[in-house]
Amino acid sequence: MKIKTFIENDSHLLKEISREVTDELRSLGTHEGLIFDIQVAMEEALRNAMIHGNKFDPQKKVSVEAEVVGGKVRVCVEDEGAGFVSSNVPDPTDEENILKTSGRGVYMINHLMDEVKYENGGRRVVMVKCLKQNNVKHGGK
């Protein structure tokens, strides 16, 4: 599987590209728990790119790449925004943040995927998940 595309800042397109990736993973016989983790992380990254990165600017696009190589799925999401520093994102499990209705995307991505890197000034997130079920705990590391 190899997917490389650009999408507009539209939540319907977010679901379509996510479905395309999860359908491909199912066709490879990937465990549903792993597919769930990948889908949630991918949709959070796409949503963050559209909302926080591109600020729903219709002139900006989100780049999406997904591929399976060597028993791992690698998903890259990149926006055209100003970027951010992931270590500056407030911890949603801190007492002052626990009741907030947003701010959990980066936390969830980091806990659902096996490897997460932020590149290009925070505009690009690279997420990797091992597809071998016996080496991975679902819903986190």
* Per-residue pLDDT reduced to its tens digit, 22-61: 999 999 999 999 999 999 999 999 999 999 999 999 999 9
pLDDT at 141 over 60: no
Range of the domain at 114: 2-135
Residue 48 lies in a domain: yes
* CATH number of the domain within which 14 lies: 3.30.565.10
In contact, 126 and 120? CB cutoff 8 Å: no
Q: Report the Cα–Cα distance between both ends of the chain, in Å, rounded.
A: 25
> What percent of the chain clears pLDDT 90, i.e. is strictly above it?
76
Q: How much is the pTM? A: 0.90
Give the whole-angstrom CA distance, residue 27 versus residue 29. 5
* Per-residue pLDDT reduced to its tens digit, 64-102: 999 999 999 999 999 999 999 988 888 888 888 888 877
As for how many domains the chain has, the answer is: 1
Residue 140 lies in a domain: no
Give the whole-angstrom CA distance, residue 30 versus residue 50. 28
- The reported pLDDT for the residue numbered 134 is 57
